[in-house]
């Protein structure tokens, strides 16, 4: 290891690679608490929080493993591609917030459009068509066919009226 690499691990800047696992750990612990609040039920009669609980425990364990065992040499530098990933995750957060207010169709359409056009670099024609077909298809599959309870949907209410 040369001096330039060795010096980058000393001090507070050398520990920045631990920030990501700490954020994931915080999200995992919050998800565990939230899942327990939903009622776990039993394996033979699972409650609504059982699978989120299992996933959040795995997430928390993975974050702990990253904190304790990970080597900073494994990390890539932050680039424009990294910013796109952060923007995609932020888009998911906005989707969840808007989903609660206006239902599924509009946020799903907008998120698919964003991901296809901006992140996938598809043409406007393909992006609009696939976002429209995808959001309607997912709505029909989950809400209508499988009966997954969604919040009241503003767009579906207009079409059904």
**Residue whose token pair is 């698919």:** 112
Question: pTM for this one?
Answer: 0.57
Residues 51-91: tens digit of each pLDDT: 999 999 999 999 999 888 877 777 777 777 788 888 888 98
Residue 148: is its pLDDT beyond 90? no
Q: For the residues 35-55, what does the mean pLDDT come to?
A: 89
Task: Output 40 or 2, whichever has higher pLDDT.
Answer: 40
Q: How far apart are CA 24 and CA 21, in angstroms?
A: 5
């Amino acid at each position: 290891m040369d001096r330039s690499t060795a010096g980058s691990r000393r001090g507070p800047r050398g520990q920045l690679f631990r920030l990501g696992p700490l954020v994931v750990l915080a999200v995992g612990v919050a998800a565990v608490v939230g899942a327990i609040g939903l009622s776990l039920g039993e394996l033979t009669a699972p409650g609504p929080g059982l699978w989120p609980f299992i996933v959040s425990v795995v997430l928390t364990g993975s974050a702990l493993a990253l904190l304790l065992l990970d080597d900073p040499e494994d990390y890539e530098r932050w680039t424009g591609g990294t910013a796109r990933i952060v923007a995609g995750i932020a888009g998911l957060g906005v989707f969840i917030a808007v989903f609660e207010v206006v239902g599924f169709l509009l946020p799903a359409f907008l998120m698919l459009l964003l991901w296809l056009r901006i992140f996938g670099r598809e043409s406007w024609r393909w992006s609009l068509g696939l976002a429209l077909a995808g959001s309607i298809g997912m709505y029909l599959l989950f809400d209508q066919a499988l009966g997954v309870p969604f919040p009241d949907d503003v767009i579906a209410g207009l079409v059904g009226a």
